[in-house]
Structure 1
């Protein structure tokens, strides 16, 4: 993973984890220990799914750059659907509070997407390959005598 990608991932994971901690405190106060556990599990699920998606997207971009945009759209749609499935599967669980789990998944996903957008806006990614200095030296300019 290039350093710019790792930096972008870090700038996305940290705010999401912070939002998860805040959600765990709020859920702990409102719903008790099971609420805090639900918020922590939801935060970990979002970080793992969204982080894994970025890794898959980066590998796809290296191997098939022409599929990058379509893969990104498909990936985000799939991630949101899988997170929805997680909420549906765990709606009747007794391991943690399902309402805190669902609310934290939504909040952490929104924070992830916003932090990712901010990270990519701040990243200095070249979209045009600059001309190398070696190719300039080999060109002949002006009149030759």
Structure 2
């Protein structure tokens, strides 16, 4: 993992975890222990799904850069659909509060996406390699004789 990628992961996961801690505390106050368990489950699910998605995007950017934008769009749609599936599957769960789970899931997802957008805007990542023209010039130059 490059330093830019690690920095983006840190700048997205940290705010999401902080908001998740607040959501767990609020859920514990308003919905009791089952609410706190639901909120923890929601935050962990967001961190796992979105973190794996960021890892996939980093891999695609390195190995298939031409497909980066399309894969990114498909990835976000799949992530959101998986979250909807998890909410539907656990809507009648009895071991945690499904409402706290769903609210925390949505809030943590919005925070992750916002933090990721901000991290990408603040990152100083070259989209053109400044050393490349010199390397290409020497390779493509014909014979000097």
Structure 1-normalised TM-score? 0.90
Q: RMSD of aligned C-alpha atoms?
A: 1.7
Q: 2:30 and 2:37 mapped to 1: Cα distance?
A: 12
Instruction: State the match for 1:87 in structure 2.
Output: 87
1:42 equivalent to 2:42? Answer: yes
Per the alignment, residue 143 of structure 1 pairs with: none
Query: What residue number does 2:141 align with?
Result: none
Q: Which of the two has higher C-alpha Rg?
A: 1
Correspondence for 2:131: 131
- Per-residue CA deviation, residues 13-43 of structure 1 (Å, 9 max, x unaligned), is 0000001000001110000000011001100
Cα offset for 1:132? 5.7
- What SS does the aligned partner of 1:32 have? helix
User: Cα distance, 1:129 vs. partner?
Assistant: 1.6
- CA-CA distance at 1:131 after TM superposition: 3.4
Residue of structure 2 equivalent to 1:97: 97
TM-score w.r.t. length of structure 2: 0.90
| Count of equivalent residues | 138
Alpha-carbon deviations, 1:51-89, whole Å to 9, x = none?
A: 000111111221211100000000000000000100000
| SS in structure 2 of the partner of residue 91 of structure 1 | coil
* Runs of 5+ unmatched residues, structure 1: 139-145
